[in-house]
Amino acid sequence: MNEATAPRARTARAELTASRAGSKRLEKAFLALCLVSVFAPLALLLYLVGETTLDGLGRLSWDFLTGYPSRKAEKAGILPALVGSVYLITLAAGMALPVGVGAAIYLEEYGGRSRLARLIEVNIANLAGVPSVIYGLLGLGVFVRFLGLDRSLLAGAATLALLVLPIVIISSREAMRTVQDNVREAAYGLGATRWQVIRSVILPQALPGILTGAILAVSRAMGETAPLIVVGALTYMTFLPDGPMSPFTALPIQIFNWVSRPKAGFDINAAAGITVLLLTLLAMNATAIWIRQRAQRRA
Amino acid sequence: MPDPIKPVRIETRGLRAWFGAKEALHGIDMVFHDREVTAIIGPSGCGKSTFIRCLNRMHELVRGARAEGQVILDDVDVYGKDVDPVLLRRKVGMVFQKPNPFPTMSIRENVLSGLRLTGRLDRSRAEEIVERSLRGAALWDEVKDQLDKGGASLSGGQQQRLCIARSLAVEPEVLLMDEPASALDPIATARIEDLIHELKEQYTIAIVTHSMQQAARVSDRTAFFLMGDLVEVDDTDNIFTSPKDQRTEDYITGKFG
Amino acid sequence: MIVAIAAGQQPRLTLDPRVPVETMTAYIVQVSMGDTPAGTLEYRTIFAVGATLFALTFVMNVLSQRLAQGKRGRL
């Protein structure tokens, strides 16, 4: 080391080794805070789920799944609610998915930046943030009364379809947007029409994302209570729905009904019902992940 | 020694192009000869990519972009009212800067994608088309045992040759290449350049490149673009040894760009 | 909805966070559970409450969109 560089080396050493104890401590504290905000709610959630499952486990049986509601808590079952829920989400998905994906295709691939597309976009974003009970009122006004569907499965499913439509549209658009422009260009460059590009290039690539959105939507529909009550779902139903125009009830409504009863025993039924609902949702999500991974493996 | 003059395949007359309000090409008059490689060189933003994208009407796919003037292909103005750009693009294929195989498709499906997308695939001929196209793109020997693997699993250079095979499968007559080797390493680049040499036996090729060495190596004629204008077009040898325009000379001698 | 159960179902005007109150959602649900023939006062009231709720959330949605857009514009 010659004399000219020695002082510079000294200052460099001082600069590079200065104590950062204060800022390090702050960093650690912040990290701790972040960890707490992640794990505290998670722990609470786990506790709730665990507690509920433990409560309900005793009631979970084949009889519970295949039984009808009863005034006696230990005899009550959830079959009509379960069947109603399956009907509802199947119908709702059947309505919301084609319409939602179609709307997403229009907005993403055709709409461009037209005034109309912009207007629709703003409205969809708004609808996604509207409380679900308002969809119930909409369903009550439009489907039940105006279209005369009465308090039927169809009216309930249509209401749920409206409710999840923004989710389907937004997630489908998001998925289509991830398809890179150069892949689109490649297809156009081969002489494909716009529709051919959409059908054979964009949709297959966006499929995993669209499926994810669809499952989110169905899960949401599965758990909704308020709009169904407003539309006029029954809270006590001792028969099975026999078609789209039949009266109906649903799993969350059955649970809500049991929760609001003061008599002992029904709270256990509610816990068991919640467990069934959770398991169903879990199974659906698992299926979705499986389908998505299969689709992605091809990619 | 330059080849005897070949017939004109494409001619542009007063071709102008815009992105929104910005004019990117200011009236280009130029010809491409049949079964020759024409290179288009020039600094970034000179309009060279825009120019070839006008030749198969890909330019207008960009939002807000439009073109004006004439592009005559075999006596037909491709900007004529009754010309369907979709049909044009089947005749004038394109290879892009970044290799862009379809990620959801296997190698085989990628090659056949142009025909399948447009509903023109004759299944009984599929295997033959796959082999012919991949051979044409000098990729067959490397992938013949893994045709069902994903197109995205190949190396960058192989992907680009797969894209060329995909273009060949629809049997175009003209191939436009937009900096086809700029994302590739030198070895892959050399393979693409060899391939271009072979392809010109059958196809009329226009290649945009930012590499003057590449232009010199692969092309018969070279056009120099600057700021949306065609400065000079001539036999490649002439352009690189005795350019007529001072700006061309400045560019090829590295004074700017 | 779940909030409706947790917050109670007693209409009461208070700022005291410890006593049960009633949310707009809970009110609508409560009324809907009974029989509400079209045209009655109850029927109309839930739509009025719904419209109020919608207006409130609408304003918040628009605000949040403005904020999000302002951010994006600056990038």
| DSSP collapsed to 3 states, A42-102 | HHHHHHHHHHHHHHHHCCCCHHHHHCCCCCCHHHCCCHHHHHHHHHHHHHHHHHHHHHHHH
pLDDT at position A53, please?
86
Answer whether residue B81 shows pLDDT above 50. yes
Chain C contact set for A225 (CB, 8 A) = 1, 29
How large is the angle between the packed helices A203-223 and A266-298, nearest 10 degrees?
180
Q: What is the mean pLDDT of chain B?
A: 91
pLDDT at position C73, please?
46
pLDDT at position A216, please?
85
Q: CB of B62 within 8 Å of any CB in chain A?
A: no
| Mean local confidence (pLDDT), A288-298 | 74
**C12: distance to nearest CA of chain A, Å?**
20
* 8 Å CB contact of C5 and A129: no
Four-residue CA torsion sign, B237, B241, B246, B249: positive
Classify domain B8-98+174-252 by CATH number: 3.40.50.300
pLDDT at position A175, please?
92
pLDDT 10s digits, A42-74? 999 999 889 888 888 888 888 888 888 888 877
Answer whether residue C3 shows pLDDT above 60. no
* 8 Å CB contact of C4 and A226: yes
Q: CA neighbours within 13 Å on the CB side: how many for B63?
A: 8
pLDDT at position B128, please?
93
pLDDT at position B230, please?
94
Question: Would you say B217 and B34 are in contact if contact means Cβ atoms under 8 Å apart?
Answer: no
Locus of tokens 């005897």: B4
Chain B contact set for A183 (CB, 8 A) = 100, 102-103
Nearest residue of chain A to residue C56 (CA atoms): A130
* 8 Å CB contact of B102 and A112: no
Identify the weakest region by mean pLDDT among A10-19, A24-33, B86-95.
A10-19
| Mean local confidence (pLDDT), B195-202 | 90
**C15: distance to nearest CA of chain A, Å?**
23
**B167: distance to nearest CA of chain A, Å?**
7
Q: CB of A242 within 8 Å of any CB in chain B?
A: no
Highest mean pLDDT among A208-217, A239-248, A283-292: A208-217
Cα-Cα-Cα-Cα torsion B150, B151, B155, B160, nearest 10 degrees, comes to 180
Nearest residue of chain B to residue A193 (CA atoms): B86
d(C-alpha A249, C-alpha A238), whole Å? 10
Residue C43 makes CB contacts below 8 A (sequence gap 6+) with C36, C37
Q: Which of residues A202 and A76 earns the better pLDDT score?
A: A202
Chain A contact set for C33 (CB, 8 A) = 229, 235
| Mean local confidence (pLDDT), B23-34 | 94
- Between positions 103 and 162 of B, the ones with CB within 8 A of A are 103-104, 113-114, 116-119, 150, 152
Answer whether residue A113 shows pLDDT above 90. no
* Any domain includes A243: yes
Best mutation target, C2, C5, C33, to test chain A (most A CBs within 10 A): C33
Residue A267: give its domain's CATH number. 1.10.3720.10
* Any domain includes A40: no
* 8 Å CB contact of A186 and B63: no
* 8 Å CB contact of A229 and C61: no
pLDDT at position C70, please?
63
| Mean local confidence (pLDDT), A227-247 | 83
Q: What is the mean pLDDT of chain A?
A: 86
pLDDT at position A296, please?
67
| Mean local confidence (pLDDT), A199-223 | 89
pLDDT at position A150, please?
83
d(C-alpha A176, C-alpha B69), whole Å? 34
d(C-alpha B178, C-alpha B170), whole Å? 18
**CB-nearest partner of A230 from C24, C28, C53:** C28
Domain span including residue C8: 2-74
Q: CB of A91 within 8 Å of any CB in chain C?
A: no
**CB-nearest partner of A188 from B87, B89, B167:** B89
Q: Which two tokens stand for residue B82?
A: 């009754």
* Any domain includes A11: no
Answer whether residue A245 shows pLDDT above 90. no
Answer whether residue B1 shows pLDDT above 70. no
* Any domain includes A29: no
pLDDT 10s digits, A178-195? 888 889 999 999 989 999
Question: What percent of chain C shows pLDDT beyond 70?
Answer: 68
Q: CA neighbours within 13 Å on the CB side: how many for B115?
A: 21
Identify the weakest region by mean pLDDT among A14-28, A143-157, A176-190.
A14-28
Answer whether residue A3 shows pLDDT above 80. no
Domain span including residue A94: 62-298
Going by pLDDT thresholds of 50, 70 and 90, the confidence category of residue C9 is: low
Answer whether residue C75 shows pLDDT above 50. no
Count of the separate structural domains present in chain C: 1
pLDDT at position A24, please?
84
Count of the separate structural domains present in chain A: 1
* 8 Å CB contact of A196 and B58: no
pLDDT at position C74, please?
42
d(C-alpha B117, C-alpha B102), whole Å? 12
Nearest residue of chain A to residue B54 (CA atoms): A189
Question: What percent of chain B shows pLDDT beyond 90?
Answer: 72
* Any domain includes A193: yes
Could you give the C-alpha distances from B39 to A240, B5, B51, B213, B247, in angstroms and in order? Answer: 74, 16, 12, 11, 17
pLDDT at position B226, please?
93
**CB-nearest partner of B163 from A186, A200, A205:** A186
Q: Which two tokens stand for residue C1?
A: 């909805």
